[in-house]
A and B are shown apart, each in its own frame.
Chain A
Amino acid sequence: MEQLNYRHIALSRAKGSRLQAVVGVVASGDLEVLVERTLPDGECEVDIRTPITGFGDVWRAVVADFVQLRSPGGLKLSVNDGGARPDMVSLRLAQAVRAVAGDRV
């Protein structure tokens, strides 16, 4: 089990007003994301627990692109990984931002 933590400056506050949401499932090749609106508007934190070690560079790149693309200001995202591939991680992170905005998941 590896724990990774990334903090970023976000350009703008994540849309919507919901305080928290959960997307995905902890299953093989998938992941669960708990998203909470607990940080100042310009900050974002992604906290990851993964059973697969040695992919820190990939996680760092995925999270950096996510923050740039989705601007998740004010959000803390906690990822419980089941060995998901990067494409699935990107998708679930984006879904989490949409869920906390109150849109359809």
Chain B
Amino acid sequence: MRDTGRRDRDQRLQAGARHAEGKRVHRQNATALLEAVIRPGDRVCLEGDNQKQADLLAVALAAADSATLHDLHLVRSGVVLPEHLDVFEKGIAKRLDYAYSGPQSARIARLLFGGKIELGAVHTYLELFARYYIDLTPQVALIAAVSADRHGNLYTGPNTEDTPAIVEATAFKDGVVIAQVNEIVDTLPRVDIPGDWVHFVVESGKPFYVEPLFTRDPAAITETQILTAMLAIKGIYAPYGVQRLNHGIGFNTAAIELLLPTYGERLGLKGKVASHWALNPHPTLIPAIESGWVRQIHSFGSEVGMDEYIRARSDVYFTGPDGSLRSNRAFCQMAGLYACDMFIGSTLQIDLKGNSSTVTVERVAGFGGAPNMGSDARGRRHPSQPWLQAGKEADPDGPAALRRGRKLVVQIGETFGDQNVPLFVEHLDALNLAEKLHLDLAPVMVYSDDVTHIVTEEGIANLLLCRDADEREQAIRGVAGYTQIGRERDAAMVQRLRERGVIRRPEDLGIDPLDADRRLLAARSIKDLVHWSGGLYAPPSKFRNW
């Protein structure tokens, strides 16, 4: 027999059983359970991404005695809660492999520089999930669900997200799965995770934390963002006929969503673009859904306040037999990689080659799903019109039947961001960070050879049409506005690129910047979105001003 892993798991389960009644563990015993089951040096997956958090288990782990539990290797989607970093400060954990860090991005940078965290890599979600099955398989997974029954079957509900990917990798490779649940019930609405994959269940008595990360208040959308949205719709969605797509988070893409039923309708694009989505349930997409633009949406997670609306729109969303959303981050990332023809999203820095990054020297934000969505799938083999057309623009002389198509990877933003910080830079801060931390790779979100278009208020740069590095640089400078990068352009070359359609200004597309008016937005406030939803959307209190 070669089953040391299985016997090891049995020993861990026995050690944990002292703190449990069957599978059930009282929440006061959560830390004692973790100290019994986890061993120093273990690889532990603590569930939590940019949305859902196994918060009770995060707190319980951070409360462990570092004499008992130390040198853990944490593998996890997101570093989001303070406790996620407390474990490194206390010496409970030492090594980290992750994908996303929003609110903790400044503190994670300090701990990296202070040597408290030994960094494996900053991944994209799908890549990290993949490694759970090859070389980062967890010994213990700490996960979150809505409810459990007495057998340990779990209902993960609308925010299923990462749970299936984590549990599968752990439970089927001799690992221990510990779930926190809001409540234990007699009968589950549906079974998302079978009970024989789950070893311990801790009842938390309150809902696990979910961040409303994908909610953008239409009231905060600026005229410049509306202009970039008009450029994207008329200059990219329309000519390529983009039907299958993903939107990143941000006000520019929120503006696009809110312009579909108004500006998009006027351009006659309904039914021709933006019908099939890999997308979280963005509240700003409600007007387009209600106007009949959207055929279907598969989601990574849910969004706070959207559950009742989704339940009433099962024609559009993926829902279970109980009627609620079933999200799945791994499958949706896969859908974004292979079955979408476009990714469009914003970033913090773009260099002269077109590399982009959200990492600055003070903030190591990670990137979540963007590098996956925002990359060309080299294994793709099925044709579609946008993919073929983009491939042809990149290689007009190649033989059609042997020519790879290209995914449209669009970076959209204003030339100056918050605090007048320029979007365009000579060198990415990510390079300085890599040098200071002696990383083999700079944390680049979208590589230059994947990005196909850059949209700013000054126009669209189509990098597929650039034939050499000089053209590429000038195409980028040519939409960089009044940033230093923009003002140092070669005006004659930019003019030639414009004549070839590599750069397209608003006027080249028949767009008057003065038409970029907030009245074009299908909803101008959160309250408008509630009206559009027929009262089904219930925005979280921080977005309510009534």
- Which A residues are closer than 8 A to B by beta carbons? 52, 55, 57-58, 61-62, 83, 85-88, 90-91, 94-95, 98
Structural contact, B487 and A85, CB atoms closer than 8 A: no
B residues with CB within 8 A of A: 222-224, 227, 414-416, 420, 457, 481-482, 487, 513-514, 516
- Decide: A98 and B514 in contact? CB cutoff 8 A: yes
Contact B416 A85 (CB under 8 A): yes
In the assembled complex, 14 residue pairs joining A and B whose CB atoms fall closer than 8 Å, in A order, are A52-B420, A58-B482, A58-B487, A61-B482, A61-B487, A85-B415, A86-B482, A87-B224, A87-B416, A87-B457, A91-B514, A94-B513, A94-B514, A98-B514
Question: Roughly how many angstroms separate A61 CA and B480 CA in the complex, as a whole number?
Answer: 13
> Once bound together, how far apart are the Cα atoms of A61 and B416, in whole Å?
15
Contact for A91 among B416, B420, B487, B513, CB less than 8 A? B513
**CA of A52 to CA of B415 in the docked complex: distance in angstroms?**
18
Give B224's nearest chain A residue, CB to CB: A87
Q: Is the CB of B415 within 8 A of A86?
A: yes
Q: How far is the CA of A86 from the CA of B421 in the complex (A)?
A: 11
In the complex the two chains form, is B223's CB within 8 Å of A91's CB? yes
A70 and chain B: residue at smallest CB distance? B514
**B420 and chain A: residue at smallest CB distance:** A85
Cα–Cα distance between A90 and B487 once the two chains are bound (Å): 15
Tell me whether A86 and B481 are in contact (CB under 8 A): yes
Chain A residues whose CB sits within 8 angstroms of the CB of B514 once the complex forms: 91, 94-95, 98
Does B224 lie within 8 Å of A88, measured CB to CB?
Answer: yes
Given contacts A57-B487, A61-B482, A94-B513, contact A88 B222 (CB under 8 A): yes
Given the interface pairs A61-B482, A94-B513, A98-B514, the reply to whether A83 lies near B420 with Cβ below 8 Å is yes
Residues of chain B within 8 A (CB-CB) of A91 are 223-224, 227, 513-514, 516
A85 contacts across to B, CB distance below 8 A: 224, 414-416, 420
Give the Cβ gap from B136 to chain A, nearest Cβ, in Å. 42
Q: How far is the CB of A14 from chain B (nearest CB, A)?
A: 14
Q: Which residues of chain A come closer than 8 Å to B420, judged between CB atoms?
A: 52, 55, 83, 85
Bound Cα distance from A99 to B514, whole angstroms: 11
